[in-house]
Amino acid sequence: MTNISANQWDLANFQIKDDHIMVVKPINGITKITFPAPKLMSWYDALFYSYSIKNCGCWKIPTIEELQTVFKIYGLVSINNPLWSKPKTPVWSLNTESLTDPCAEALDFNTGKPLPTNPDKNSQLEVICVSYC
């Protein structure tokens, strides 16, 4: 992770929109974060879901490192927003050995740490996407 100034972690840096959070002063390049997808999905479906988001921006499934940044942002934003809820199951990460690898990394949103064992890509987990645009 790059150095992040204290004012980037100020709540004023995050604007909650209808379906995403806008990061006014990008953190580690992240400018937008989606709310969790409306349903649990496999890693493959999550990949297609990220490409299908029409809201302005280039969306993708985050890497495990990006998800750890998202975890911190969710923690800050949820303090002052009772309607905001963090994912209840682990969240898919883009991290995988290859598209043919049967497993991919996921982040536990209770601890902010990667799962000790990578789940099968057909498992049904939460999806959050990030944008750099």
What residue type is 10 in one-letter code?
D
Q: Is the Cβ–Cβ distance between 22 and 15 less than 8 Å?
A: yes
pTM of the model: 0.84
Q: What is the CB-side half-sphere exposure of residue 31 using CA atoms within 13 A?
A: 8
Per residue in 76-118, pLDDT (tens digit) is 776 666 556 678 889 999 987 778 889 999 999 889 999 999 9
87-90 long-range contacts, Cβ below 8 Å, gap at least 24? 87/36, 87/126, 87/128, 88/126, 89/40, 89/124, 89/125, 89/126, 90/115, 90/119, 90/125, 90/126
Structural domains in the chain, CATH included, are: 15-131 (3.10.100.10)
